[in-house]
Amino acid sequence: MKQNPKRRAGHTGHHELGFVRTYIFSQDHKMIARQFLFMGLFMMIIGGLLALIVRWQLAWPETAVPGLGGILKETNGILEPSTYNMAFTMHATIMIFFVVMPILAGCFGNFCIPLMLGARDMAFPFLNMLSFWTTFTAGLIMLSGFFVPGGHAAAGWTSYAPLSAVPEYTGVNWGQNLWCISLFVMGVGSMMGSINYITTVINMRAPGMKLFRMPLVVWSLFITAILLLLALPVLTSGVAMLLFDRTLGTSWFKPSGGGEPLLWQHLFWYFGHPEVYILILPAMGIASEILPVFCRKPIFGYHAMAFSMIAIAFLSWVVYGHHMFVSGMNPALGMSFMVTTMIIAVPSAIKTFNWLGTLWGGRITFKVPMLNALAFVSMFVIGGLSGIFMASTPVDIYIQDTYFIVAHIHYVVFGGSIFGAFAAIYYWFPKLFGRMTNPFLGHLHFWPTFLFFNLTFFPMHIIGVGGQMRRIYNPMQYEFLQHQQHWNVFITYSALLLGLSQIPFVINFFWSLFAGQKAPMNPWNATTLEWSAPSPPHLNWGARIPTVYRGPYEYSSPESQEDFLPQWQQPSVAAPAERRRH
Amino acid sequence: MAFATVLEAPPRRRPVVRRRNGYLPPPPPPTGGGDGPERDPEPRRPFLDNARLATLFLIGGEIMFFGGLVVAFFVLRIAAPVWPPPDQPRLPVGVTGVNTLVLLSSSVLMIGAVRALARKQPGEVVRRLAWAGALGLVFLAVQGYEWARLVGFGLTVSSGAYGATFYTLIGVHGVHVLGALVWLAVVLMHAALGRYADGPTAGLRACAIYWHFIVALWPILYVAVYLL
């Protein structure tokens, strides 16, 4: 990129923004992306510790949890049933709404969309800043719930009414109210963010960046933004009704006043099913982005990848009933939800086979981002296959609300989204912070995480089919579960080791942030536009926005001197690269 | 390879002249077309400015939000044995019907304001915007008065599904009218300061789209809550 010195001098005004405008109330999409990343990683620590507390209780019921003696003074660190309910409720809520969504949609949405499309910033930078601070406020409200009398929300992350609608049922008063307020505020924040993403993708692309030249991660974030925009308002309306029920005395979900408890489940899952695709689609895009780079091959079936994501997004609206097979539903309706759910396997399989087709015959280098992306693909296959079990009503009636479901969701959300997030963090770290991560620490993080992830969550399938219900306080209370208690102990040991395996990541992250090797402009020899900007980018490019000449995955092209053709490289007249495609 | 390229003439782009966004696109480049990498890609011309596009998507989200509320309302309503419950006060259909006309006429004035903007009559724009906002305020005031009367008759949020649905749906719409009025006030201030006379007018047009949405939402809620 040639940079016009005069134009750059004109932009130096931006350097003179004070500390607050640069680092706190920043309107720069890259700074907002970093803020989302730090917020998500911080919340991940809290959510992870809550998970370990839950695991301790399940393995060694009603023994003192180490380290909790100072907090739970009355019980000397032993979890009471109400505290246990609070722990698993907040683990799920924090992980879904304040870890995966801020990291994948918030951080990488903000970072990748403008940089990969060749835009200087989002369409509405101020709205973008507002979106982060709204989400941040929602996070603070959510955390403040731990400190109110009565404890935090304890009705499960799904907060089924009427358990959640009447304070006396769980004994939680302000905790559940703050849960509702926090999700309401987060809904507003993510609405601002998603409108911004959609407008940016439609209107702000660089010259030559056609829709079907967009990198697949941008496609996935675009579709995610549409799902966010249309799904979250339904939850927002639901939590508003729930909050009114709890505080103003309305009776939307309370049968005593003519309300309908099942209505909450419909509203919640009408949002909830698109939500799981909000969590997984960006990770799918990230894997589609990283696999071609590290096997030096174009993605297999670019159009099929984009269209299958659109198909998944569309289908996600017509399958939500599969969460409610045992809630009381007309069998004909259950049957149609079963069929639509099974149809989702088709676009998902298209994506999986395309990832395999990309790997086939490639020159694979097992760098840390690639390992995490491969873990995403393989774990997503396991999570997807166990999903088919649940999709069929006869099986689901048996495994509903057992640890089989817990295993499934963790294979999809941890094995899928979190490995995708790790892959993205390792892959874009050079561009996010201008420094390379340490590959040794990266391997030291990846291999134990991958191993202990499987040792933690795979046995959950077994105890789930063995009949262990989710959300039970003490499995030893049930005679038919006592013979498999050794599995619970094994899972807890694995979970503790899984937690310890994250320490190399934390060390790597902060060490590389300050002392990592300086990153070159294009460390992975990738073709997409963000690698044409300096690391870390300031105003994204110099005087001229790059022009896009070709699709995003031109690796091992015979037309190039090296083995890749960047999107921004002007083709020679004799090389009709565009015709050869498709 | 190169020889084949010469033989196959690149497909010629048809010179389509379309009116987009109020201005004509520049003529196609003289060197002919094709999507080939030989030519410098043209800069993109968005078919709709950012502000209006974002407003349309905002409306998409709002439709889902109100959709959740209205569907929930119908679920409770159909499940109820008698609706409205016999011991509860009736809703003021007549006054609210007149109020509906007030709100609809504010939308007509908003159309007039945008037309005046296109005809470059800044004074008329300000006057019509002010009237549209004033009618919105009248609507809110009448709604508030009716609420106060209904509470006096004994219909409150806690009086069963009937009161809960009524106050939630109408209240949420009222909050949206209030929000749209704030936006309208900002736009009115900009118009009075002459910002739209020579600059981009997207802000006013986006506000007009949102105002029409809020107005169009009302008859649906009126029919669902008051008439059915």
Determine the residue type at A234. Answer: V
The verdict on a CB contact (< 8 Å) between B36 and A550 is no
Q: Is B200 on the interface with A (CB under 8 A)?
A: no
A11 pLDDT above the threshold of 60: no
Q: Is residue B58 part of a domain?
A: yes
Instruction: Give the pLDDT band of residue A447 (cuts 50, 70, 90).
Output: very high
**C-beta atoms of A234 and B163 within 8 A:** no
Label residues B65-102 b or e (16+ Cβ within 10 Å = b). bbebbbebbebbbeebeebbeeebbebbeeebeebbeb
Tell me the percentage of chain A whose pLDDT exceeds 70. 95
Over residues A352-376, the mean pLDDT reads 95
Question: From CA B49, how far away is CA A135, in angstroms rounded?
Answer: 27
CA distance B166 to chain A (A): 10
Give residue A573's pLDDT: 55
Please answer yes or no on whether A250 and B167 come within 8 Å at the CB atom.
Answer: yes
Pick from A233, A238, A266: which is nearest to B62 by CB? Answer: A233
My answer on whether omega of the bond before A102 falls inside 30° of 0, hence cis, is: no
Buried b / exposed e along B136-150 (16+ C-beta atoms within 10 A): bbebbebbeebbeeb
Six token digits for residue A74: 């009355």
Q: Which site among B21, B31, B65 would you substitute to test the A interface, given the most A Cβ atoms closer than 10 Å to its Cβ?
A: B65
Interface residue B87 vs chain A (CB under 8 A): no
Residue A576 pLDDT > 70, yes or no? no
The closest of A495, A523, A352 to A414, measured between CA atoms, is A495
Q: Do B61 and A578 touch (CB under 8 A)?
A: no
pLDDT > 50? residue A580 = no
Does residue B157 contact residue B164 with C-beta atoms inside 8 Å?
A: yes
Residue B12 resides in a domain: no
Of B65, B75, B167, the CB nearest to A233: B65
**Chain B residues touching residue A251 (CB < 8 angstroms):** 158, 160-161, 164
Angle CA(B48)–CA(B53)–CA(B54) in degrees, nearest 5?
150
Which residues touch B71 (CB under 8 Å, ≥6 apart)? none
Asked if A34 and A107 count as a contact pair (C-beta separation under 8 A), the reply is yes
Q: Which of A229, A260, A573 sits opposite B61 (nearest CB)?
A: A229
Structural domains for chain A: 20-566 (1.20.210.10)
Chain A partners of B42 at a C-beta cutoff of 8 Å?
207
Nearest by CB: B157 against A194, A202, A250: A250
Nearest CA-CA distance, residue B176 and chain A, Å: 13
CB A530 within 8 A of CB A448: no
Residue B112 lies in a domain: yes
At A296 the three-state DSSP class reads coil
Spatial neighbors of A162 by CB under 8 A, at least 6 apart, are A169, A253, A254, A255, A261
A518 bridge partner residues = A435
Taking CB atoms and an 8 Å cutoff, what residues of chain B touch A202? 46, 53
Work out the percent of chain A whose per-residue pLDDT is above 90: 79
**For the domain that residue B84 is a member of, what is the CATH number?**
1.20.120.80
- Tell me the nearest-neighbour CA distance from B179 into chain A, angstroms: 14
Question: A387 falls in which pLDDT band (50, 70, 90)?
Answer: very high
**Which pLDDT score is estimated for A73?**
85
Which among A576, A445, A335 is positioned nearest to B37, based on CA atoms?
A576
On whether any CB of chain A is under 8 Å from the CB of B198, the answer is no
What pLDDT, in 10s, does the model give residues A46-78? 999 999 999 999 999 999 999 888 888 888 889
pLDDT bin (cut points 50, 70, 90) of residue B81 is: confident
Q: Where are the alpha helices (DSSP H) in chain B?
A: 2-7, 50-79, 93-118, 122-153, 160-192, 195-198, 202-221
Q: Considering the domain boundaries, does residue B150 fall inside one?
A: yes
Yes or no, beta carbons of B65 and A258 under 8 Å apart: no
Neighbour-count burial of A156, counting CB atoms closer than 10 A to its CB (0-12 exposed, 13-18 middle, 19+ buried): middle
The Cα A111–Cα B165 span in angstroms is 42
Q: Does B210 reach chain A within 8 Å, measured CB to CB?
A: no
Cβ(B83)–Cβ(B63) under 8 Å?
no
Q: Do A244 and B157 touch (CB under 8 A)?
A: yes
A232 contacts in B (CB within 8 Å)? 61
Where do the H-state alpha helices sit in A172-215?
A: 174-203
Q: Which residues contact B52 (CB under 8 A, 6 or more apart)?
A: B202, B205, B206, B209
Contact at CB, A199 and B40, closer than 8 angstroms: no
State pLDDT tens for residues A224-273. 999 999 999 999 999 999 999 999 999 999 998 889 999 999 999 999 99
pLDDT confidence of residue A572: 67
Cα–Cα dist A73/A64, whole Å: 11
State the nearest Cα–Cα gap between B43 and chain A, in angstroms. Answer: 4
Note whether B97 contacts A: Cβ–Cβ < 8 A. no
The whole-angstrom separation of Cα A475 and Cα A290 is: 42
User: B161 and A251: CB-CB below 8 Å?
Assistant: yes
* Dihedral-angle region of residue B44 (phi above 0 means left; psi in -120 to 50 means alpha; beta otherwise): beta
Q: Which residue(s) pair with A78 in the sheet?
A: A64
Q: What is the C-alpha to C-alpha distance for residues A226 and A190, in angstroms, rounded to an integer?
A: 11
Confidence of residue A284 (pLDDT cuts 50, 70, 90): very high
Contact assignment for A267 to B68 by CB distance below 8 Å: yes
Please, which pLDDT band fits residue B11 given cuts at 50, 70 and 90? low
Point out the residue among B35, B60, B164 whose CB comes nearest to the CB of A252.
Answer: B164
| Nearest-angstrom CA–CA distance, B85 and B94 | 20
Specify the amino acid at residue B91.
L
When pLDDT is averaged across residues A523-550 and rounded to a whole number, the result is 87
Q: How far apart are CA A12 and CA A15, in angstroms?
A: 5
As for the ipTM of the complex, it is 0.90
User: Burial code of A22-52, b = ≥16 C-beta within 10 A, e = fewer?
Assistant: eeeebbbbbbbbbbbbebbbebbebbbebbb
- Report helix, strand and coil shares of chain A as percent, to nearest 5: 70, 0, 30
Residue A360 phi/psi, 5-degree rounding, is: -60, 120
pLDDT tens-place string over residues B145-178:
999 999 999 888 888 899 999 999 999 999 999 9
Decide if B76 and A249 are in contact by the 8 Å CB cutoff: no
pLDDT in tens, B14-24: 555 444 444 45
- Looking from the CA of A216 toward its CB, the CA atoms found within 13 Å total 29
pLDDT at A103 over 90: yes
Angstrom distance (rounded) from CA A230 to CA A195: 10
For residue B34, tell me if it sits in a domain. no
| Alpha carbon of residue B39 to chain centroid | 41
CB distance A242 to A179 below 8 Å: no
Q: Give the three-state DSSP class for A152.
A: strand
- For B73, nearest residue in chain A (alpha carbons): A252
Q: Given CB atoms, is B203 within the 8 Å cutoff of chain A?
A: no
Token pair for B35: 């999507």
The residue in chain B having the minimum alpha-carbon distance to the alpha carbon of residue A574 is B2
Distance from CA of A574 to the nearest CA of B (A): 6
* Phi, psi of B23, rounded to the nearest 5 degrees: -130, 160
Residue B65 structure tokens: 């939000």
HSE on the CB side for B137, CA within 13 Å? 9
Mean pLDDT of chain A: 91
Tokens 């249309």, residue located: A230
Amino acid at A60: W
DSSP letter for A17, please: S
Phi, psi (rounded to 5 degrees) for B93: -70, -45
pLDDT greater at residue A563 or residue A88: A88
Q: What is the mean pLDDT of residues A122-144?
A: 96
CB contact under 8 A, A252 and B76: yes
Interface test with B, best of A188, A197, A214, A250 (most B CBs within 10 A): A250
Type and span of the H or E element at A537: none
| Sign of the torsion formed by the C-alpha atoms of A260, A262, A264 and A266 | negative
CA distance A225 to chain B (A): 11
Task: Kindly state the tokens that stand for A504.
Answer: 């190399």
- Which tens digits make up the pLDDT trace of A187-208? 999 999 999 999 999 999 998 8
**Interface mutation vs chain B, best among A237, A260, A266, A268, most B CBs within 10 Å:** A237
What are the Cα distances from residue A192, in Å, to A28, A109, A228, B55? 16, 13, 10, 11
B66 CB neighbours in chain A (<8 A) are 237
How far is it, in rounded angstroms, from Cα A353 to Cα A361? Answer: 14
> Which residues of chain A have a CB within 8 Å of the CB of B79?
258, 260
- The model's pLDDT over B116-126, given as tens digits with 9 standing for 90+, comes to 998 888 899 99
Look at A79-83, A297-301, B81-85 and tell me which has the smallest mean pLDDT: B81-85
The parent domain of residue B214 ranges over 50-227
Name the phi and psi angles at A555, rounded to 5. -100, 155
Alpha carbon separation from A291 to A29, A106, A219, A368, B157 (Å, rounded)? 26, 22, 16, 12, 56
Which residue from B minimizes the CA distance to A211? B44
- Please, is A467 exposed, middle or buried when counting C-beta atoms within 10 Å of its C-beta (0-12, 13-18, 19+)? middle
Q: What is the pLDDT of residue A1?
A: 37
Q: Do B67 and A234 touch (CB under 8 A)?
A: yes
Min mean pLDDT across A157-166, A437-446, B214-223 is at: A157-166
**Contact state of B160 with A258 under an 8 Å Cβ cutoff:** yes
Facing A203 at nearest CB: one of B1, B46, B157? B46
Residue B156 lies in a domain: yes
The span from the CA of A467 to the CA of A471, in Å, is 13
Query: CB under 8 Å to B23, separation ≥6 — which residues?
Result: none
pLDDT at site A190 = 95
Residue A451: the pLDDT is: 97
Query: What pLDDT sits at residue B43?
Result: 67
With 0-12 / 13-18 / 19 or more C-beta atoms within 10 angstroms meaning exposed / middle / buried, residue A483 is exposed
Q: Which of B40, B46, B57 sits opposite A198 (nearest CB)?
A: B57
Domain count for chain B, please give it.
1
Total residues found in chain B within this entry: 228
Nearest CA in chain A to B164: A250
pLDDT digits (tens, 9 = 90+) for B24-70: 544 444 333 333 343 456 667 778 889 999 999 999 999 999 999 99
Q: Of A199, A231, A571, which has the smallest distance from its Cβ to B54's Cβ?
A: A199
DSSP state of A206: P
Residue A563 banded pLDDT, cuts 50, 70, 90:
confident
Long-range Cβ pairs for the range A482-489 (8 Å, 24+): A485/A59, A487/A459, A487/A462, A487/A463, A488/A58, A488/A59, A488/A463, A489/A59, A489/A60
Bin A118: left if φ > 0, else alpha if -120 < ψ < 50, else beta: left
Residue A562 has a CB neighbour count (10 Å cut-off) of 10
Q: Where are the alpha helices (DSSP H) in A296-392?
A: 302-315, 331-343, 345-359, 368-391
pLDDT tens-place string over residues A398-436: 999 999 999 999 999 999 999 999 999 999 999 999 999
Of A205, A234, A579, the CB nearest to B64: A234
Nearest CA in chain B to A240: B168
CA distance B107 to B113: 10
A229 closest CB neighbour out of B38, B60, B162? B60
Q: Does B27 touch chain A (CB under 8 A)?
A: no
Residues ≥6 apart with Cβ < 8 Å to A376: A283, A286, A287, A415, A416, A419, A420, A423
pLDDT above 90 for B196:
no
